[in-house]
Structures are given as C-alpha cells and as structure tokens.
Amino acid sequence: MRQASGTIHVFTFKEGLLASAAHDLRLRFERFTCRLDGAALKVVIDLNSLRVDGPVRGGVVDAGAYDAHRRDEIERAARKQVLRTERFPAAEFTGQATPRQGGFDVHGALALAGRAGPLAFAVTEDQGAYRAAFELRPSQWGIAPYSALLGTIRVQDRVRIELAFGETD
C-alpha cells in the first residue's frame, strides 16, 4: 500500500449583481489521507480542516488580504452553511487509478454531504510529484451555492479542485 501527502486546493468563483464587491477564493484542506493499494485508491478528507488561503486576484492568491477574523468568518460559513460538517464531517473518494503514460486515469465515486456521485480525472506525474485539476458542481451533491445580501453576491455552482501529491514512506 502506498500513501501520499500533499495539498488539496479548492477555488471558488463569485457571481451576482454585486459580485465586484466579493472575491474569488482559494481554500485548502489541511487534513486528509490518500492511499493507493494496487489500483484501488481511497482519499478521505476532513472537511473541518478547511482553511482560507485568501482571495484570488488576477490569478494570484493574496494571502495577506484577510485578517484572522475575516478568515474565521469565511471558514465558519463554509463549514456550517455550505458543507454542513456537523452532519457530514468527511468527504470520501473511492475508485481506481489506472496507470498510463505520464500518470494515471482516476475513476470512482465521491461521497460528499450525504450523497455519492461519479468522479473521473487525470493525474500527471512530474519528477515524482503527482498533479490533477478538475471542476465539480457542488449541486450534484446537494450543496447549494453560498449567497449573501439576498443573492446579490453568490458563489457559482462550480469549484476548481487542484491536487498536488508526493508519496510518503
């Protein structure tokens, strides 16, 4: 069995009448496990480990833009109102990682917020590091996009996931 460590980044995108007053965001999960046993892949993410990296402006994360209070507000809202972590504290992906030239093709199911749905993505290998990027529609798992100010600021029903992993001993 092989284990991996790395980063899971989640990018959210704003929309709505007052979207110019909001920010696209980069978030990350600090605690997760990733195990590959032959072709069987299992990833478990502690959704309560969600943290805000910062707003994204012009494709660049501004890590210093938010103070601790603002970060805490966003993290709390994401955990309580969006992910409902009191009821669903973890996300779990189970599937197969099929080797191919330059990486893996991954197919399986993501269990999130009490629902399971299919998920497939490509993983590329670059000098011992494995990377993947793909988009999800949270509504597929019953997660309504976050909104504020009577819906004049909303988060789009799509998030971008970026994974970067390396094997651990």
Could you tell me which residue, 152 or 96, shows the higher pLDDT? 96
pLDDT band at 2 (very low <50, low <70, confident <90, very high): confident
What CA–CA distance (Å, rounded) separates 153 from 147? Answer: 6
Look at residue 153 and tell me whether its pLDDT is greater than 80: no
Closest Cα partner for 45 from 96, 92, 108, 12?
Answer: 92
DSSP-derived secondary structure letter, 84: -
Q: Could you report the per-residue pLDDT of 63-72, keeping only the tens digit for each?
A: 988 999 989 9
| Residue 69 φ/ψ, nearest 5 degrees | -65, -45
Q: State residue 28's pLDDT score.
A: 96
Look at residue 11 and tell me whether its pLDDT is greater than 90: yes
- Find the Cα–Cα–Cα–Cα dihedral 134, 52, 154, 14, rounded to 10°: -60
Q: Could you report the per-residue pLDDT of 77-131, keeping only the tens digit for each?
A: 889 989 999 999 999 999 999 999 999 999 999 999 999 999 999 999 988 889 9
* Residue 135 token pair: 């988009």
* Superfamily of segment(s) 2-168: Lipid/polyisoprenoid-binding, YceI-like (2.40.128.110)
The length of the chain is 169
pLDDT band at 3 (very low <50, low <70, confident <90, very high): confident
pLDDT band at 23 (very low <50, low <70, confident <90, very high): confident
Instruction: Report percent pLDDT > 70 for the chain.
Output: 89
pTM summary value = 0.87
Domain coordinates of the chain in residue numbers? Answer: 2-168
What average pLDDT does this structure show over 27-54? 94
Look at residue 14 and tell me whether its pLDDT is greater than 90: no
Closest Cα partner for 83 from 115, 47, 54, 116?
Answer: 47
Look at residue 22 and tell me whether its pLDDT is greater than 70: no
Q: State residue 62's pLDDT score.
A: 87
